[in-house]
Amino acid sequence: MISFVPAAARPDLIDQATGLTEKVWPEYNLHGDILNEYWSSLYDVFPEFQFVALDGERVVAEGHTIPCRWDGSVPGLPDGIDGLIADAFSLREQGGKPNTLCALAVEIPPEHQGRELSRLMLDHMRSLAAEQLFGDLIAPLRPSWKHRYPLTAIENYARWTRDDGLPLDPWLRVHRRLGADVLSTHERSLRITGTVAAWEEWTDMRFPESGDYVFPEGLALLDIDLDADRGTYWEPNVWVRHRID
């Protein structure tokens, strides 16, 4: 039986959940320029919106959400996940009133995938939004199969469907089956920069010359500039919306 517990109620579970991050995300994804400025503060500033999924007393998944303000229009969407998290923290600091919940991440390690946990986690996020009387749950999705097509524009990839009309991408498909609308795509959602040596460590690759590179688990190309000793990567996302009754 799966149960959900907010971090605010059981801070002792956070240590168990911390290990999930390393199992779920590629190493490079743990080094966002802007995202990392705020991520560790989610538990302190927004503890009621972070939660774990328990199977008995074992942590099997972790969910991260954050309240934000959105005008309901596509042009009014945040500037990717970087813009979203910066705006949400600024709104809290200024005492502003949020009207929307944003799903930041669902973290399910490989050993617990295939149990419909992703659907249950999204259902719980929708419940959190309803409890706050928010009209929408939005999410800057990281498509789970985009790394197979790093040369394809995210706008094109998001339109790809199967014979049954549902999205080709499994993560997009989970959201669509729950009634989510695909709003737009964002090519530059999450910025990650680092030295060439850092990128070689994160990707287990060598970059002998400057240029654009395909790399393992990358959703788009990595720009390497040897003269500047800098690697720059912009991860794309797909914005979706769940309407909350």
* Banded pLDDT at 212 (limits 50, 70, 90): very high
Burial label for 58, CB within 10 Å (0-12, 13-18, 19+), is exposed
Query: If you average pLDDT over residues 89-105, what whole number do you get?
Result: 97
Phi and psi torsions of 85, nearest 5°: -70, -35
Query: If you average pLDDT over residues 145-168, what whole number do you get?
Result: 98
Q: What angle, 0 to 180 degrees and rounded to 10, lies between the N-to-C axes of helices 117-131 and 170-177? A: 50
- How many residues are there in the chain? 245
pLDDT at 116: 85
Report whether 136 contacts 122 (CB < 8 A): no
Query: If you average pLDDT over residues 185-203, what whole number do you get?
Result: 98
pLDDT at 113: 80
Report whether 162 contacts 172 (CB < 8 A): no
Cα–Cα distance, 17 to 230 (Å, whole number)? 32
Report whether 53 contacts 4 (CB < 8 A): yes
What percentage of the chain has pLDDT greater than the value 70? 98
Q: For 3-33, how does the pLDDT look when each residue is reduced to its tens digit (9 = 90+)?
A: 999 988 887 777 776 666 677 899 999 999 9
- Structural tokens at position 24: 């779920």
9 versus 173: which is more confidently predicted? 173
* Banded pLDDT at 53 (limits 50, 70, 90): very high
pLDDT at 63: 95
Query: If you average pLDDT over residues 94-115, what whole number do you get?
Result: 91
pLDDT tops 90 at residue 102 = yes
* Banded pLDDT at 123 (limits 50, 70, 90): very high
Task: Specify the DSSP element, H or E, that contains 211.
Answer: strand 211-213
Report whether 61 contacts 20 (CB < 8 A): yes
pLDDT at 56: 85
Cα–Cα distance, 193 to 190 (Å, whole number)? 10
Query: If you average pLDDT over residues 215-242, what whole number do you get?
Result: 98
Report whether 182 contacts 158 (CB < 8 A): yes
pLDDT tops 80 at residue 242 = yes
Cα–Cα distance, 4 to 196 (Å, whole number)? 41
pLDDT tops 90 at residue 198 = yes
Cα–Cα distance, 60 to 51 (Å, whole number)? 11
| Average pLDDT of the chain, as a whole number | 94
Report whether 109 contacts 205 (CB < 8 A): no
User: Could you report how far apart the first and last alpha carbons of the chain are, in Å?
Assistant: 26
Closest residue by Cα to residue 107 from 71, 67, 65: 65
Cα–Cα distance, 95 to 138 (Å, whole number)? 21
